[in-house]
Every structure is written in C-alpha cells, then in structure tokens.
Amino acid sequence: MKMKRLLCMFFTLALLLVILSACWDEVELEERGFIVGIAVDMEEEQDGKAIFEMTNQLVVPAGLNSTTQGGEGKGFRNLSQTGESIFETNSAISRQASRKLDAGHLELIVLSQEVAEQEKLFADILDVFTRHPNMRRGILLAISADKASDILYVEPEHVKLPAEYVGQLLENRDNLLTTEQVRIGDVQENLLQNSCFVIPLIEVLNKETVNYKGIAVFNGESGQMVGTLEGKEAEGRNFILGQDQEGSLSMEVGDDQMAFAILNGDSKITIKNENKENMQFQVDIEVESRIAEYGGAKDIYKYQSEFEKKLENQIKDIAEATVKKVKDELQVDVLNLGNHLRIKNYDLWEEIRNDWDYGKNYFSMSDIEINVNVSLREPGNTKRVEEKGEYK
C-alpha cells in the first residue's frame, strides 16, 4: 500500500514537471514589442560595402486607445539602425527596444526604390525575411519612390498605425492605375520561377497622406526593379489585363470636358502567329462605362455612339502606349502574355520559356495589336438640349 502511494506521488511529480517546464521560456504579452511595419533604405556605401538603414514600427498599445493627436497619443514608435546586413541591423534595433521584438503581426514591408534598383539586392533582402520562422507569406510589399522610412512616419487622421493605413491604401482598387495587393509569398514564388512581377509604388504626399503613384516593374531573372508604370501607363496595363477595372477617364468633346466612370472591363488575348521570332498577339478589350460629368450641349442619347467611339480611341491610345513602354523599354512581360501562351501552346512555351522576357527576349520581338469596344450604359438622368439651353 505504501509502495503504491510512493509510485502515485512519483508519477504526479513527474507530470507536474512536464507541464510546468513547457512554459519556462514563455514571454508575457505585456513584455512583447509587436512589429507591424518595416522599412529598408540604402545609406552611403562605406569601403565599397552597401550600408542599410532599417526602421521597425512597433505598436504602442496605450496610444491606440487615445483620442488625442500626436504626442502621447501616438499608437506607434519607430526604431531605426544601420548595418551591413539586414539580420545584423535588426539585431541592433532589438538593443533599443525595452521589450522582446515579435514579428508575428508584421503587416507591411516597404523598400526604397534605390534598394529595389540594385541588382540581386532586392532578392537577397527578401530571402532574409522569408527565412525568418515568424514571417508570414501574407505580408504586404510596397516600393517607396523616395525614402522608405518616411512612409512609416506619416500620421493619417483616422488610423493610428501608419503601416495599417498603407495596407488599407494598397487594398483600395477604386482607381485605374492601381494593381492588386502584392504579398511576400507571391514575390518569392516569382523569383524562384524567374518570372517578372510588379509591386505597388507609393510616395509621401504630406505629413498625413501617402499617395499611390503607380507600379514598380521587376525583372524576374535578376530580381531587379527595371522601371515604373505611372499614370496612364499603369491604366493601360489594367485595361490589357482586364482585371478589377474601376475608376474614371476624362476627355475633351469639342470645347467641353467629359468624364466617364468605368464600371466594368474584361479582355481576351488571341495568338495570331506562333512563330517564336515574330509572335503576334491580339488583345480585345471590353469596357462598360457611364457618363459621370458633361458640361456640353449635345444630346447624350443622340450622340451616344460618338461618345463611345471617342472613349474607345482614348483607351486604345493608352493601351498602345503601355505596350510600347513595356515591350521596347522595360522588356519584361508584365502583360501576362507568356502565361497565356503557356496555357494555349505548352510545347512552344517550354521551348522558349528561358528566352521569353530575358535572354533572347522573344517577348520584345512580338507584335501586340489592341482592339477596344466600349458600351456606354446609364448615360444619366438629365440631358442638356442645345436649342433650349437648359436641363431636361
């Protein structure tokens, strides 16, 4: 009987040791410093070596509940440090923090255009982040046209965390020049496949606002930023891709200004010639729109076909200008023509895939024809009649 009690006590103690020791290295929530944003910039080279500046944005919980602006009401704190490697620099930042840094809630990584334009450097930096055990594949990426850390110091009016504000900005697609959100896992996959890709390009507009400037274009083989598509160039890419088209276009009709709201859009790509030395693609763009603003006197219903034709010509000009820049200057297939070729003619794609938009670059040799068809819907609830000079 005594022996059974001893055995029970022994097993109980052993079980308690196992349970209690499982939490010996746990860090309490209050002792963690949660990183929500990271910015990476280039400093001046020293002895021929690249020097990085890295900025971590940490959450200040007390500031998230404050209703005051600035000062003690800030919901974030930025810590910066310089170094020759990302890992070294991040370790130096941790020595400034009073809490154990935790990247499990990281939402955004911003890299400066200067960093992205260095050959192989962008891919090396991304590799450091993807190797980290706590990094999620869903972290958003953005390129800053100027200094990346400036993005993390913007203080928007209704959002306490600049990193969160930029994430919401990247999610907003109510503009024709924006692209889909780009996440670190997507870019890593493109780099492994030597496929070109794009990343949103942003800039600081003022101390409270970040502006969506366009898209940064990357060569998949080198992992290097080779240029940008801004304004109409970015809009043209979206028309060609036919994805999530929303926004507006304006033009002059006679002496008057007319604005069109783009309601929906689609595109169809057809391969007309499969000679690898002279590939020919036809892109048929379909757009639905409505008249959002018009100060002229023409009867909208009577001249509807004329307005549609003018909008078709404008979209065609925009798309053709994008094709020219992408094909002749940037020479990377961010129009997804290679993916269409892979689906339609896999054997040909396998033959030329390593020379599509690098190497021999068959993409730059290809011919791309643009056709546009516009359907004008919902012309409006009013029309201006020239003879009477009034709304009717």
Same domain, 248 and 146: no
Same domain, 45 and 140: yes
Same domain, 293 and 215: no
8 Å CB contact between 271 and 280: yes
Same domain, 100 and 171: yes
- Is residue 4 one of the residues assigned to a domain? no
181 three-state secondary structure: coil
Of 199, 229, 259, the residue at which a domain comes to its end is 229
Q: What is the residue whose two structure tokens read 């890709």?
A: 197
Of 179, 198, 229, the residue at which a domain comes to its end is 229
Of 184, 204, 229, the residue at which a domain comes to its end is 229
* Cα–Cα nearest to 109, from 153, 151, 80, 168: 151
What's the rounded Cα separation, in Å, for the pair 233 and 213? 11
- Is residue 282 one of the residues assigned to a domain? yes
Residue 120 CB burial class (10 angstroms; 0-12, 13-18, ≥19): exposed
Global confidence as pTM = 0.85
Q: What is the total count of domains within the chain?
A: 2
Same domain, 208 and 325: no
Partnered with residue 58 across adjacent β-strands are 35, 77
What's the rounded Cα separation, in Å, for the pair 214 and 226? 14
Same domain, 128 and 271: no
Same domain, 196 and 264: no
Q: Which H or E element spans position 225?
A: strand 224-230
Same domain, 375 and 270: yes
- Is residue 2 one of the residues assigned to a domain? no
Q: For each of the chain's 392 residues, which pLDDT tens digit applies?
A: 566 665 566 666 665 555 555 444 444 445 567 889 999 999 877 666 778 899 999 988 877 775 544 445 688 989 999 988 888 887 778 777 666 777 788 999 999 999 999 888 899 888 888 887 777 889 999 999 999 999 999 999 889 899 999 999 998 877 788 888 999 999 999 999 999 999 999 999 999 999 999 999 999 999 999 999 999 999 999 999 987 677 888 888 888 888 998 988 899 999 999 899 889 999 999 999 998 888 877 887 888 888 999 999 999 999 999 999 999 999 999 999 999 999 999 999 999 999 999 999 999 999 999 999 999 886 655 555 444 444 44
Same domain, 201 and 57: yes
- Biggest alpha carbon distance in the chain? 113
Same domain, 185 and 237: no
8 Å CB contact between 269 and 340: yes
- Is residue 185 one of the residues assigned to a domain? yes
Same domain, 102 and 173: yes
Which CATH number characterizes residue 248's domain? Answer: 3.30.300.210
Q: Please give the residue range of the domain that contains residue 362.
A: 231-392
8 Å CB contact between 383 and 304: no
Query: Other C-beta atoms within 10 Å of 19: how many?
Result: 9
- Is residue 13 one of the residues assigned to a domain? no
Same domain, 166 and 58: yes
- Note the helical H segments in the chain: 2-21, 61-64, 86-94, 113-116, 121-131, 162-171, 184-192, 232-241, 304-324, 337-344, 346-352, 362-365
